[in-house]
A and B are shown apart, each in its own frame.
Chain A
Amino acid sequence: MSQFLILIYDDENAWMNAAPDVSEQLMQGHMKFGENNAAAVQGGNALQSVTTATTLRPDGAGGFSVTDGPFAETKEALGGYYLVEAADLDEAIALAKQVPVIKGGLEVRPIMVFS
């Protein structure tokens, strides 16, 4: 078995301004994902909006410049993730396909194993 991180990218505006039934559906979708894949899901979280993000970059003088906003400005922002266990990429992709999204998409990344 290997571990994969499923990163959820979505349009924050679509998500924040979603009609109540859409957000309800989204919540239900995540609940169902967790229930159906209890054995595979090792963890996961939703993130607060990118408007709450703070970015740190080395300033080249031994310190950091600290700025408001995400590291990279994109239309679809990283909004949450699941850490899952799967036999292979196909199984991880099958899991990712069950994660609800409104407009965005999902990225599947294998977790690096150090030996």
Chain B
Amino acid sequence: MKYAFSFLAVIALILIAWLGSQIPGMQYFFGVAIPYLAVMVFLGGFIYQVVQWAKSPVPFSIQTTCGQAKSLDFVKHNRLESPHTTPEVVARMALEILTFRSLFRNTKSEVHAGPKITYESSKWLWLFALIFHYSFLVIVIRHMRLFLNPVPEVIAWLDWADSMFEIGTPALYMTDAGLLIGLLFLFSRRLTNRQVRYISLANDYFPLLLLIAIGVTGVLMRMFLRDGIDIAAIKQLGVGLVTFSPVITADIGSIFYIHLFLVCVLLVYFPFSKLMHLGGVFLSPTRNMKNDSRQIRHINPWNPEIKVHAYSAYEDEFREFMVDAGIPVEKEPEPTEETPAEAPA
């Protein structure tokens, strides 16, 4: 049901852009106003969210160590999984962010008769997540050619490299395929993996379907629905948007407005959703802290003033037992009643 709801939401968004962009005059709304609004919400929301996180302190050093700590000379230190210095933390974070290190560890557990529990390596999620994210990254970078004039060498080169196999006309971008394949895997996994299916919310299906719709409309625009796709006009709009002088000089096909609108929805949705894992992964205390908490004191800014149950109170309660047992005490017991407290002068 949750995916059906998300599916309908994406369809509705497509219809809004399709119908809306055909109303005379609304091209500026969909081509200029919405993109500006979306970028502002994205940037503002993203910064707001990161500031919100950063405002909360990290009271304790709670790194998760996934390897041997720095210890005695003859004990081999695992510098990546139990980092002790800042460069080692940077390396750990780089592995985490660039190669999805933790996801690479994934195993699949099964309970068999016996009982016997087995664990086998399960790297599909890691592989397709990696394909999706890198494809998405390259696609975003590639799109910069629509906003920059002249197009930087590196983006032109990326464009060439991405389509070097020259499948179809115009050549299919490998990353377009990668993006869609990755997304389809992630989506079908939500439907078929029993555990993931049970935990999935509309919040999980919606961004997947939105991204699929963005990818599909992009591919359609480039490969199939080329009527009215005036690349020069699109580029003029793109460059105009970033130079704050946007103009729409031609009738651009609806598919373009649909694609653009969905991207805007993604931008607006991003800061208020789980997609913020993009920012959060950098701030996760279990990963980005040094495992040196016995060597260097970590400061808790709100460290509460709490006094220990004092030794003196403890001794007061148990003094006689302690003396009887021969345990040293700070204060000798009060004289007992046999010796009068106030001796006559």
Q: Do A and B come from one complex?
A: no
A interface residue numbers (CB < 8 A to B): none
